[in-house]
Structure 1
């Protein structure tokens, strides 16, 4: 029987953190870096357990996105994955349901960056593809991130953005989106 648990990073034990990292390394087939791992930490995690096996994970961390003259408190999804042999069984939806509850209760907006393969999953849940230009507030100022145009999705919470406008994310090491 599966169980969904939510917990802040500070409340996860070493064994749980190791299980999350192992799941993400396997799910992203070796394309999950230490910087990606760092982005996943510091927020609320949703974990799907089947007995003592972790089969699904996602986290929501706080970021600031600039849009229409405002700095929006944003719940940014990171490290969303389901073990390959357990996909298409509702586990990803269970992870998202838990994380979306956090976004709706604690943030102005939800956001994430996704692959083309997973875009339909998010769109079916009400996430909207950002249609306007994306940028980052880099140490040298605002810079365009054309390579991220079309892969950014938002979930309106207390703010409904104009998805055709400019969206600027805060700076961080590694992938900024």
Structure 2
């Protein structure tokens, strides 16, 4: 039997955070300190089975600029399900919890995904961003062409989006998207 809960980073104990980090380390060969840091400070969806963490995802607040407006974005980070538990709907359960948060608290959701996960997100209603991607860096607005085609957004009813326009994210260390 699985148990899904959501909690803010501030409400998670060290053991839970350590388990989440270990799960992400196992799922991603190249997880950096910055990648882990990007998943902190927001709401985590945690899936446990038999007392062990088998799934994690987080949504953190960011600012995206679109159409001349700064939008409050729920940005999804650190989505992983333990290898021996994949293909059972656990990823959908994690995302469902975060999508509820996004729809209730943000102007839109966004995430960066590789080709292997594209079908998963598209099947849940996430839309591929077709326009150009940018970041507001310490030295000014900078193009991020390596992200084009790999960004997905989850529109909310309150915020119309032009998927062919430019999208600019706030700056952060490591991968900006």
CA-CA distance at 1:66 after TM superposition: 0.1
Report the number of matched residues: 176
Say which SS state the counterpart of residue 55 (structure 1) adopts. strand
Secondary structure, counterpart of 2:134 in structure 1: strand
| Mapping of residues 2-151 of structure 1, within 5 Å | 2-28=2-28, 30-151=29-150
Question: Could you tell me the TM-score, scaled by structure 2's length?
Answer: 0.98
Secondary structure of residue in 1 paired with 2:142: strand
Separation of aligned partners in 2, 1:31 and 1:82 = 16
Task: Name the SS of the counterpart of 2:122 in structure 1.
Answer: helix
Distance in structure 1 (CA, Å) of the matches to 2:115 and 2:176: 18
Q: Give the Å deviation of 1:140.
A: 1.1
Residue of structure 1 equivalent to 2:166: 166
Shift of 1:159: 1.0
Q: How far apart are 1:142 and its partner, in Å?
A: 0.8
Q: Which runs of 5+ in 2 are unaligned?
A: none
Q: Which runs of 4+ in 1 moved over 2 A?
A: none
User: Shift of residue 54 of structure 1?
Assistant: 0.6
Structure 1 residue runs without a partner (length 5+): none
How far is the alpha carbon of 1:47 from its aligned partner? 0.3
Once the 2 structures are TM-superposed, how far is the Cα of residue 160 of structure 1 from its aligned partner? 2.5
CA deviations over 1:89-113 (Å, ceiling 9, x no partner): 0100000000000000000000000
Q: SS of 1:119's equivalent?
A: helix
Three-state SS of the structure 2 residue aligned to 1:72 is strand
